Structure 1
Amino acid sequence: MHTMWKGSISFGLVNIPIKLHAATEDKDVKFRSLHKECHTPIKYEKICPVCEKELELKEIVKGYEVTKGKFVIVEEEELKELSASKAEKAVEIIDFIKIDEIDPIYYNRSYFMSPDGSTKAYGLLRKALIQSEKAGIAKIMIRSKEQLAVIRVFEGVLLMETIHYPDEVRKAAEVPNISTADEVSKKEIDTAILLIDQLTSTFEPEKYNDEYRSQVLDLIEAKKSGKEMVTVKQKQPAANMNELMAALQASIDKTKPTTKKKPGRKKATAKKDVAK
């Protein structure tokens, strides 16, 4: 399992060296965008529409749009200075809470934590969380962003889940067209509850699968088996200019007509003098 981050967990005076590993993966079927005519993968270039030229990375700066078309430029060095105090590779647990106090809407991404070296301190935190039935609330810097996270135990492994800050979760009261009064009869409610009871079961994640993804993969396999595939047209390499000129000159030389030497006028004059 790939290590994406190395650092430590700290709570109180306890420090636990750990590694982070992505706990989930995206299983979407990914398609490339091709040119319909020659089936070549297309490129996405960074082009300035005013200067009409492709830009190099060093020519691009960060800008925050204050009003439409007006930006404040922020330099990379300024951002580095702000994050310097947070640059320590540490997961700082600041509180312990009951896990059911967190609504699922706050959850973002999940990461497994493995011990980096000694397992004793790692095992200590794992057992303490299990016996106390608590989870830790922590802060961590990932990709230049300070993340809020919850640390809990999942199948015997410490799991860190980044969670949204409160101001990142939109207010439910702002959702349009929500009626506060439910205009339903008791019979309708009883029928709905009966249906819910009939469909209620224990959560078994293994019995659910992405049917659409399976169908797409079957379609791809059928096309592949039937040789219904396209091939990228190879771009012809540009000829070397020196080699091209040499070939042209050789062709000219080869087709140039041969010339015969004409008798000189001086020799003819000499014969006339002898005749006299």
Structure 2
Amino acid sequence: MRAIWKGAVSFGLVSVPVKLYSATESHDVSFRQVHAKDGGRIRYQRVCSIDGEEVPYADIAKGYETEDGEMVILDDDDMAELPSTSSREIAVEKFVPSDQIDPMLFEKSYYLEPEKSGAKPYALLRQALIDADRMAVVTVALRQRTTIAVLRVRDDVIVLQTMMWPDEIRTPDFSVETGEVKDAEVKMATMLVDTLAGDFDASEFEDDYAAAVEMMVKAKIEGGEMKRTPTSTKSSGEVVDLLAALQRSVDAAKSGRRESDDDADSDAGSDDAGDEKESRSGKGAAKKAPAKKSTAKKSTAKKSASKKAPAKKTAAKKSTAKKSAAKKAS
């Protein structure tokens, strides 16, 4: 785990330097909205509801909507004037009985790890919470906003649990009409409770929905039921097939080299054709030299051809002499 915050727990004159770690992580199954035809991701544009135009992120501001539907726009200067704090202190306000905290108030849980210099006062605070069976109500600044929280002990580790503000807890706006409840019915319900009574063990429960989704997805992958899209291969936060990436780079380099060679050959061919035209028309003194070379090659070829011709005649004379000698012998 990585510490997300560093500060100190202070109660009275005691200060305990600590690190803060997120104690929970969500394993909830999340789905993407995709095009059923080809599996492409559905993208959403930031469109203004008034003019219907897409709005760049730089032009987006914060707006506070009033109860009557009016919109108040707040700019960066307005946001800078709001009260904020960067205090690195977890201030203990009071120690209260554990049963006085409504679990509905609990929001996010964090582990507190002591720094080396604060190991002993950390242990003292932990033991005091256990012996008193109380929680410490604290105030702490997280993400530049002050919130209330409690400190309690779980498995020899002090846990900080942030809490919702009292006005964030909704009051039900309905009443429950039960009618008359008979004593026999209450006794039967009590017997049912006693039958199912036991100790809580979180390991006895599992998220069967997530497991079912994973099994279904695995079966579809093994059956080849996948949609390959240009965005299927991610590059951030995932392992990339290095060999495949290198091979693609090599292929691209070879392709580029072949194209450059073809262009060079075509340019050379056009130059040769131009040289021949200019040598025939007598244009360009500098380009007559290649024409002379080609003429020299032609003359050399003619000489070699003329030299080979007598050799053929000599071979013909020899064959004629052999034929006449054979006739005389017969």
Interval containing the TM-score (normalised by the shorter chain): 0.7 to 0.9
Larger fraction in helix: 2
Provide the C-alpha distance between the structure 1 equivalents of 2:206 and 2:45, rounded to a whole number of angstroms: 37
Match status 1:171 vs 2:171: yes
Residue 79 to residue 93, structure 1, CA distance change in 2 (3 Å):
farther
Question: Paired residue for 2:190?
Answer: 193
Secondary structure of 1:28's partner? coil
The CA deviation at 1:96 is 0.8
Q: State the match for 2:138 in structure 1.
A: 138
Q: Which residue of 2 aligns with 1:112?
A: 111
| Change in CA separation of 1:233 and 1:221 when aligned onto 2, cut-off 3 Å | same
List per-residue Cα deviations over 1:66-120 (Å, max 9, x = no partner): 1343122233333333334x22122111111111111211111111111234222
Q: Which residue matches 1:99?
A: 98
Q: 2:199 aligns with which of 198, 202, 205?
A: 202
Distance 1:145 1:45 in 2: 31
* TM-score computed with the length of structure 1 as normaliser: 0.76
- C-alpha distance in structure 1 between counterparts of 2:109 and 2:96, whole Å: 18
**For the Cα contact (< 8 Å) 1:61–1:73, is it kept in 2?**
yes
Contact map agreement 1:38 1:233 (CA 8 A) in 2: no
Inter-partner Cα distance in structure 1 for 2:131 and 2:81: 41
C-alpha change, 1:55 and 1:100, in structure 2 (3 Å) is: same
Equivalent position SS for 1:83: coil
Shift of 1:233: 4.3
What residue is the counterpart of 1:88 in the other structure? Answer: 87
In the alignment, which residue of structure 2 is the partner of 1:66? Answer: 66
Task: Give the secondary-structure state (helix, strand or coil) at the position aligned to 1:48.
Answer: coil
What are the within-5 Å matches in structure 2 for residues 235-254 of structure 1?
none
CA distance in 2, matches of 1:168, 1:26: 23
- Determine the C-alpha separation between the residues in 2 that align with 1:8 and 1:56: 42
Q: Distance in 2 between matches of 1:151 and 1:38?
A: 51
Task: Give, in whole Å, the separation in 2 of the partners of 1:129 and 1:74.
Answer: 44
Distance 1:186 1:130 in 2: 40
Structure 1 counterpart of 2:185, which letter? E
Instruction: For structure 1, list consecutive stretches of 5 or more residues without a partner in the other structure.
Output: 235-246, 251-276
Give, in whole Å, the separation in 2 of the partners of 1:51 and 1:146: 39
Structure 2 unpaired stretches of 5+: 232-262, 267-330
Q: Distance in 2 between matches of 1:67 and 1:177?
A: 27
Secondary structure of the 2:113 match is strand
Determine if the alignment matches structure 1 residue 232 to structure 2 residue 201: no
- In the alignment, does 2:47 pair up with 1:47? yes
Partner Cα distance (1:144, 1:75) in 2: 18
Instruction: Give the C-alpha shift of residue 158 in structure 1.
Output: 0.8
Kindly indicate whether structure 1 or structure 2 has the higher relative contact order, using CA contacts under 8 Å at least 6 residues apart. Answer: 1
**Contact 1:39–1:233 under 8 Å retained in 2:** no
Q: Secondary structure at the match of 1:82?
A: coil
Matched AA of 2:102: D
Change (3 A) 1:69 1:168: closer
Query: d(CA) in 2 for partners of 1:6 and 1:169?
Result: 29
Shift of 1:130: 2.0
Residue aligning to 1:221 = 218
C-alpha deviations, 1:188-242, integer Å up to 9, x for none?
11111111110111111111111122111111111112121111147xxxxxxxx
**Percent identical across equivalent pairs?**
34
| Structure (1 or 2) with the greater strand fraction | 1
Task: Give the Cα–Cα distance (whole angstroms) in 1 for the partners of residues 115 and 47 of structure 2.
Answer: 44
Larger radius of gyration: 2
Counterpart-to-counterpart distance in 2, 1:62 and 1:102: 35
- Number of residues paired by the alignment? 234
